[in-house]
Every structure is written in C-alpha cells, then in structure tokens.
Amino acid sequence: MFEKVLIASRGEIALRIHRACREMGINTVAVHSTADAHAMHVRLADEAVCIGPPAAADSYLNIPAIISAAEITGAEAIHPGYGFLSENANFAKIVAAHGITFVGPTSEHISLMGDKIAAKETVKRLGIPVVPGSDGGVTTEEEARRVSDEIGYPVIIKAAAGGGGRGMKVAQTAEDVGTALSAARTESKAAFGDDAVYIEKYLGKPRHIEVQILADSHGNVVHLGERDCSLQRRHQKVLEEAPSPALNASQRAEIGERVSKAISGLGYLGAGTIEFLYENGEFYFIEMNTRLQVEHPITEAITGIDIVREQLRIADGAPLSFTQDDITFTGHAIECRINAEDPNTFVPMPGQITEYHAPGGLDVRVDSAIYSGYKVPPYYDSLIAKLVVRGGNRNECIMRLRRALEEYVIGGVPTTLDVHRALISNADFQNGSYDIHWLENFIANRE
C-alpha cells in the first residue's frame, strides 16, 4: 500500500480522504491556497504545501504546483476528491506521466465520459438504456428538426461538453427548435469552448437516480445500489437518499446488474457513478461521473463499505475486498447538504463561525471541516457540512434526521439548516413523492 498520498482538494472531502488514509496507515500531504492556511484539512494532514493564492485557478487547479508538491514530499499517489481537477483528463495524464498514481480511472475513461455524446453512445452499445434522441451530435436546423419530429416533442438540446445543466435548451414544438439549437450552441461555446450539441426526448417529471459502482484492476465490478438525488435547486443537490423511495429490491438488482456488466465491458477502473433519469418505471442514462461524489456517504451508510478505502486499494492494484454477494443494503440513509447561504435566496454568505455544535448519537455522521472560530472563505463552494443519518427504515431515518437537525447549531453565518428542517416536515417528502422539479416549487411556495 502507498506510504504517502497527496490530497488535491480542500474542505470536508479532503478531511474524508485523510481519515481513510489514517485508518490505512497512509501518511497524508495536504495542499492549500493562502486563504486555507488555517483550514482543518491542513491542520490534520501530516504535511502541508501551500500551492498558491486564494483563487482556485491559481491554487487547487494549478497542475504544476500540485505535481511539484507531490514530488517534493515524495507522495506516491494523488487523490483528487471531487470538483477541482477530479474529472480533468489532462491532470490524470500528467500525474501518471510523472510516475504518480492517480486515484481514479484512466485519463482515457475520464475523457470519454466528459464527452456526453461519446459517453451515451458507449454505454448504449454496452446495454444501458439511454434517452431516445439523435445518434451523435446535430449541427444544422434541418437535422435538428428531422430528429425532433421523429422522437416527438418536447425535446431537449444539450451540450456535448456539458453537465450541470449549462447549455441546455428545451423546445416545446417544432417552431422552437431553431431558436433552442442556436441558443444551446452559443451557450455551450461560451461555457465550454465547444459548440457540439445533441438532442433528446424531454422527460417531464423524472427522478434523478444514480448507481454507484466500484471496479478493480482484476476484472471485478460491483454496484453499491442507487441514490435518489432528485431534490435539487438550480442543478445543486440539496438532499439525497439511499435507497430511492421509488425502487424495490428487484428493480435495484436489475439496474445494478446491467450497470455492472457495462462497466466490465468498458474496462473501467475505480469508483464511478452512472446517472439516470427515471420515469414511469424506466431508466434512461444521462451521464457518468468518474469521481468520488459528494453524496457517497449515504451509500456507505447502507452498505457499510468505505468507498474511499476501496478507491485507494484499487489504485494500489489490490482486488476489491468483497464480491457482489457480500453486499447487503440495510436500512435507509439521508444526506442534508448544509451550505453557508442565505436560506431564502441561496446566495453564498461566507464569514466567521462563532458558535458550533454538531449532532451525534447512533447512526449520525457529520462530514465537515469547519470549527468554532473558522472563517468560511468566499473563494470556494459554500458547502460547509454534510449531515448523514441512517435509520432501520425510511421513517426511522427521517425521525432521527429531525432530531439531529434540531441539535445542530451553526452560528455566525446563515445556513440552509432551516431549509432542511422545513423540507423533511413536508408530507410529499415524507411520502417520497417528488421528482426533479418538486424542490423548486417547494422553495418558491414556502410560508
């Protein structure tokens, strides 16, 4: 096993990775910007290297500085966390070229899944159901009209280089296709420097359900079930749960097996997430994430598997420490993302934490890098904590979550804690009856 791993991230996820390393006897190297000199991930790591000024472009995205930090400290591997360089194929390639192990898939697989058109074609060939739409990209209005007329309206035009909802345009009728196409292409070009787009049938009220997989270098692939991430606001996930209230055990096993088989065929390595829209009992692939995800702890909570530990073992060439038959799904888990934001406008509100008390007790996990006196910097994502609660079933989980949210005290900055308190008291939430648009309406109609 590696003796030393560099963690190319910050905040709660840097801490999460540090904890896995510690338990495995691996020494850690933190990298940080000047704004993060007093951050918890720096305080806990065995060594820390300052890699640049506050702006992420000059620090957490500064590839030469991060490679230098790894070389100077003698780190044998780099874990990229999520965000920043985690899905940057060029970074993965440079890391490998320096004889350092990238904790993640190959640069080629990152690149393939980064191209949404190529990703969709590839998984379709491997037996994964996809949303009906264009075969590959579309460029001209005639082509877009022809495809749209064939699949039926409404349609959605998406950026090949996209993700996160940017460069997406819906056309309700044939008359809207031309406008939607040029808008999507212009937006994609501006956001990603690439105007390639593709077309899909627009699904009106789907859920967002994603399947977690792990694949080792010995040809073993397992799935760890699904997470329901439908509760989002402006493409930012707010609360996630596992299992999905919409699936039963046989549906779970069926999609899980399909996904595992496809991932085997792909020769993929490491942790990954296959995202689907789910409507009327059918799954439709949309994207694959080639990184550790923010919401991975809810899967850990119901499987007992340490996903980061497995990532490190896989990167080191070890086989998975269990088979699919060893994996059982026990109970229910929910994650609340707590952001330093105005709870009404969701505008980030950085500042100093003046008071802090985290909840605890049985099956209550808090992943956070904040502490009393800590100054939340204005330069990065506003996520400051993840409250992850498990229960024997969904109702027990919600009861325990309510109790944990009541205990949680964060003073000095406004947070989204009250959003979660209101959300879990709502009858639709309690019944598990929601889709990807439900939360926007809930937020708009509060009080």
Does residue 200 belong to the site contacting ligand MV4 (CB under 6 A)?
Answer: yes
Question: How far apart, in whole angstroms, are the C-alpha atoms of residue 20 and residue 7?
Answer: 11
Answer for which of 85, 203, 269, 424 binds ligand MV4 (CB under 6 A) is: 203
Q: Looking only at residues 30 through 89 of this chain, which bind ligand MV4 when binding is defined by CB under 6 A?
A: none
Among 202, 276, 374, 408, indicate the residue that binds ligand MV4 (CB under 6 A). Answer: 202
Of the pair 31, 180, the CB lying nearest ligand MV4 is at 180
Cα(242)–Cα(250) distance, rounded to whole angstroms?
15
Helix segments in 37-176, DSSP class H: 40-44, 63-73, 89-97, 107-114, 116-125, 141-151
Which residue's CB is nearer to ligand MV4, number 66 or number 157? 157
- The minimum distance between CB 307 and ligand MV4, in angstroms, equals 22
**Residue 355: is it exposed, middle or buried by C-beta count within 10 angstroms (0-12/13-18/19+)?**
exposed
Query: Which of 41/201 has CB closer to ligand MV4?
Result: 201
Q: Quick check: 224 binds ligand MV4 (CB under 6 A)?
A: no
Read off the tokens for 411. 């003073």
> Does 287 interact with ligand MV4 (rule: CB under 6 A)?
yes
- Quick note: the x/- pattern for ligand MV4 over 417-436, rule CB under 6 A, is -------------------x
Is there a contact between 166 and 186 (Cβ–Cβ < 8 Å)?
no
Task: Please choose, out of 53-61, 195-203, 257-265, 407-415, the segment that lies near ligand MV4 by the rule CB under 6 A.
Answer: 195-203
Q: Applying CB under 6 A, which of residues 52, 105, 114, 163 lies at the interface with ligand MV4?
A: 163
Cα separation, 210 vs 268, whole angstroms: 17
# binding residues, ligand MV4 (CB under 6 A):
15
Structure tokens at 377: 């910097």
200 or 295, CB closer to ligand MV4? 200
Residue 156 interacts with ligand MV4 (CB under 6 A): yes or no: yes
**Using CB under 6 A, which of 29, 131, 171, 184 touches ligand MV4?**
131
Write out the catalytic residue numbers: 291
Residue whose CB is less far from ligand MV4, 240 or 306: 240
Alpha-carbon separation of residue 370 from 47, 114, 339, 380, 413 (angstroms): 19, 32, 11, 14, 12
In angstroms, the CA 353 to CA 371 distance is 7
The CA radius of gyration of the chain, in Å to the nearest whole number, is 22
- Ramachandran category for residue 412: left, alpha or beta (phi over 0 → left; psi -120 to 50 → alpha): left
Residue closer to ligand MV4 by CB (options 286, 385) is 286
Taking CB under 6 A as the binding criterion, the range among 197-205, 259-267, 318-326, 392-400 that sits at the site for ligand MV4 is 197-205
Give the integer Cα–Cα distance in Å for 173 and 185: 18
Determine contact, residues 155/170, Cβ cutoff 8 Å. Answer: yes
Taking the complex as a whole, the smallest distance from the CB of residue 229 to ligand MV4 amounts, in Å, to 7
Contact string 96-125 vs ligand MV4 (x = CB under 6 A): ------------------------------
167 lies in the site for ligand MV4, by CB under 6 A = no
* Helix %, strand %, coil % of the chain (to 5): 35, 25, 35
The interface with ligand MV4 within residues 246-285 (CB under 6 A) comprises 277
* Interaction between residue 357 and ligand MV4 (CB under 6 A): no
Smallest distance, ligand MV4 to C-beta of residue 132, A: 9
Closer residue to ligand MV4 (CB): 12 or 287: 287
How far apart CA 239 and CA 209 sit, in angstroms, is 13
Give whichever of 204 and 360 is closer to ligand MV4, judged by the CB atom.
204
Q: Which of 107, 134, 232, 416 binds ligand MV4 (CB under 6 A)?
A: 232
Residues 6+ apart with CB under 8 A from 372: 353, 354, 355, 356
DSSP H helices, 222-353, are 249-266, 296-303, 307-315
* Site for ligand MV4 contains 165 (CB under 6 A): yes
Minimum distance of ligand MV4 from residue 143's CB (angstroms): 18
Q: Is 342 exposed, middle or buried (0-12, 13-18, 19+ CB in 10 A)?
A: middle
State the minimum distance, in angstroms, from the CB of residue 227 to ligand MV4.
12
Q: Does 294 bind ligand MV4 (CB under 6 A)?
A: no
335 near ligand MV4, rule: CB under 6 A: no
Q: Is the Cβ–Cβ distance between 263 and 221 less than 8 Å? A: yes
CA gap 251, 253 in Å, rounded: 6
Sign, CA torsion 231/236/240/243: positive
Q: Which is nearer to ligand MV4, 208 or 252 (CB)?
A: 208
Binding residues for ligand MV4, per CB under 6 A? 131, 156, 163, 165, 200-203, 208, 232, 235, 277, 286-287, 436
